[in-house]
Amino acid sequence: MKLVILDRDGVINQDSVNYIKNPNEWIPISGSLEAIALLSQSGFRVAVATNQSGVSRGLFDMVTLNSIHDKMHREVAQISGRIDAIFYCPHSAEEHCDCRKPNTGMIEEIGKRFSVDLSLVPAVGDALRDLQAFAKVGCQPILVLTGKGKATLSAAENTNDVEKALPANTWVCADLGEAVQRIIAEYA
């Protein structure tokens, strides 16, 4: 089975410093839904791994989070795409859970759920914490320059701190569409 892991905010949809708190605030990035549809049509399973600390912060509840995800599923399905599973961490960083990226619990759970060797899985994010979680479990980390991506790349290029640098062999792509083209070329 071919699997791809995607972060949500900043990769699939526009991000906000004020959080995505309801379905109306969930706005897809141009071309991202088509990229997911192309993955589906090319035989890939798609899992989303997203930190959603707005739940623990009381900014929205689980019903609202599910409504946001229902909208995402519907919009992808309308163009013949599919998201096979959504994994989320509802905790804030202060809770020190195992599932919140850059920790690996959520990514490891995806590997178990799909019974896949994570070293064979491309994983796309826009923040350093995404890439760190992906790399720690052996995924192919892919940085997109949407969302926080440009700031993530700039910070990584302007540091001598190994903890703030991009993981080794990270691919850098303009957006999810470009990332998917490369994934299909390398993994199909």
What pLDDT is stored for residue 18 in this prediction? 94
Q: What is the pTM of this model?
A: 0.97
Report H helices in 78-141.
105-114, 128-136
What pLDDT is stored for residue 120 in this prediction? 86
What are the two backbone dihedrals, phi and then psi, of residue 96, each rounded to the nearest 5 degrees?
A: 50, 50
What pLDDT is stored for residue 162 in this prediction? 79
What pLDDT is stored for residue 172 in this prediction? 98
User: CB neighbours of 108 closer than 8 A, spacing ≥ 6?
Assistant: 118, 137
Residue with tokens 């320059």: 145
Is 126 tagged catalytic? no
What pLDDT is stored for residue 163 in this prediction? 84
Mean pLDDT of the residues in the chain: 96
Kindly provide the residue ranges of all beta strands, DSSP E only, lying in 116-170, ordered along the sequence: 122-125, 140-144
What pLDDT is stored for residue 160 in this prediction? 85
What pLDDT is stored for residue 161 in this prediction? 83
Indicate the residue type of 39: L
Q: Which of the residues 7, 15, 126, 130 is marked catalytic?
A: 7
Average pLDDT of the segment spanning 54-74: 97
Average pLDDT of the segment spanning 84-92: 97
- The first and second tokens of residue 127, run together, are 């923040």
pLDDT exceeds cutoff 90 at 13: yes
Is 161 tagged catalytic? no
Torsion of CA 86, 87, 90, 95, to 10 degrees: -170
pLDDT exceeds cutoff 90 at 128: yes
Average pLDDT of the segment spanning 152-178: 93
What is the band of 159 on the pLDDT scale with cuts at 50, 70, 90?
A: confident
Cβ burial, residue 22 (10 Å; 0-12/13-18/19+): middle
- Give me the sign of the Cα torsion angle 105, 32, 171, 53: negative
* Count of C-beta atoms within a 10 Å radius of residue 78: 10
The whole-angstrom separation of Cα 7 and Cα 126 is: 8
The whole-angstrom separation of Cα 183 and Cα 169 is: 14
With H, G, I as helix, E, B as strand and everything else as coil, classify residue 17: coil
CATH T-level assignment (fold) for domain 2-187: Rossmann fold (3.40.50)
Q: Where are the domains of the chain?
A: 2-187
